[in-house]
Structure 1
C-alpha cells in the first residue's frame, strides 16, 4: 500500500519514492504518481510520469528498490525490456534509479539526476 509520504504530503509506496517525489515537488516539476500507461496491449503504472519542463515531453521515472533480490531483479529486467520494445529508453524518455541494501537512494543523487535531465538551467535552484 501507500505507506510513505513526500514532503508535500503525497502518499507513495516507499521511502525512496518519497525522496523522488519530494525532490520533484521541490523543483516544481509537474508529475503524476503511478499514472496508467497503455502501450499497445499492455498496461503499466510507471512510478512517476513527468512533464519535462525543458521541452514539454513526457519522461517516465522508474525506481527499482530491491535490486539485490533475484526475483525482483528478474522482473525489473523484464519490465525494462518491455519498455525498450515500446520505445521507452533510458537516456531518451526514461530515468531509472536503482538501489540495494548496501547502496540506498539518496536525495543528493536524486537532485543530481533532476538537475541533469529536467532543469533547463540548473543554476536557478540551489
Structure 2
C-alpha cells in the first residue's frame, strides 16, 4: 500500500503543478468579453460563428477576422482544462485520504499479537519479514558460479569475490541491511544458465532485483559481450532499471559509489 500511496502523491504533485500553470493562464482572461466561438462543417469547410452571451447575437466570422476571435477559443480551452484538473485533484485527494487507512501491515499484526504458545499452530496468510527473508535465501543460493576466483578479496560478510568493486557493492548492500547473495544461478528463457553478480531483495515490496557490475566498459570485446548479456536478460523479463540494475567502471574511471547508493535508495530500499 505504501507503493500506491507514493504513486498517488506523485500524481497529486503533477496535477498541482498543472493547476498552478493553468490558473496563471486563466487570470489573463478576466477582462475578456463574454463571447464564445462555435464551429460547424458546411460542404466540407469549417465555418465559425461568435455568440455574444449578453445580447445573444450570433454572427458569422470571416476568415480575415479569425485571428481576433482565436483568443476566445484558447480561453474556452483553458477554462475547460482548469475545470477538469480541479476535478481530478479532488478525486486524487479523496483517494489519498481513503488509502491512509489501508495497510496490509494491520493483517501482519494479527499474527504478531498472538501469544508465543499459539504461533506454532498458525500459518500466517502473509509471512513475517523474517520468514520471507529466510525462504528467499533458501530459494536464491549464492556462490553458484563455478569459474575459479583469483585473488584474496573478501566482503564484510565473508564472501570471496572477484574484484574490489564487487566487495564495495556487497559491503554497501550489507551496510543498508539489504538481503543479498553473490553470484546466484538463474535460467534464461533460451535455456542458458546465467550468474548475475548479485541477487537482492527489496524487503518492502518483496521483489527480487538482480545487479550486474560492468567493470571494463572501455574494452570493446568486454563491452560487446555484456551488451549481449543484457539483451539476453531483457528477453528473460529482466528489465534494466526495474528488476535489473547495473553499475559501471572503466580502466580510467572507477566505480561511482554515490550513484550506487542513489540506486539502492531509489530501487531497493526506499525507506532509507
Q: Do the two structures share a fold, i.e. TM-score over 0.5?
A: yes
What does 1:81-120 correspond to in 2, within 5 Å? 81-120=231-270
What does 1:1-126 correspond to in 2, within 5 Å? 1=149, 3=151, 4-40=153-189, 41-122=191-272
Cα separation, 2, equivalents of 1:29 and 1:23 = 9
Cα separation, 1, equivalents of 2:267 and 2:150 = 27
Aligned to 2:86: none
How far apart are 1:75 and its partner, in Å?
A: 0.3
Question: Which structure carries more strand by proportion?
Answer: 1
Q: Which runs of 5+ in 1 are unaligned?
A: none
TM-score normalised by structure 1 residue count: 0.90
How far apart are 1:102 and its partner, in Å?
A: 2.0
Which has the higher relative contact order, 1 or 2, with Cα contacts under 8 A spaced 6 or more apart? Answer: 1
Cα separation, 2, equivalents of 1:91 and 1:108 = 17
SS of the residue corresponding to residue 59 of structure 1 reads: strand
Q: Larger radius of gyration, structure 1 or 2? A: 2
How far apart are 1:11 and its partner, in Å?
A: 1.3
TM-score normalised by structure 2 residue count: 0.43
SS of the residue corresponding to residue 184 of structure 2 reads: coil
- Number of residues of Structure 1 aligned to a counterpart in Structure 2: 122
How far apart are 1:113 and its partner, in Å?
A: 1.7
Alpha-carbon deviations, 1:50-106, whole Å to 9, x = none? 111221111000000000111000101100011111111111100011111222103
Query: What is the RMSD of the two structures over their aligned residues, measured on CA atoms?
Result: 1.3
Range moving further from structure 2, 97-106 or 57-66: 97-106
Cα separation, 1, equivalents of 2:217 and 2:176 = 28
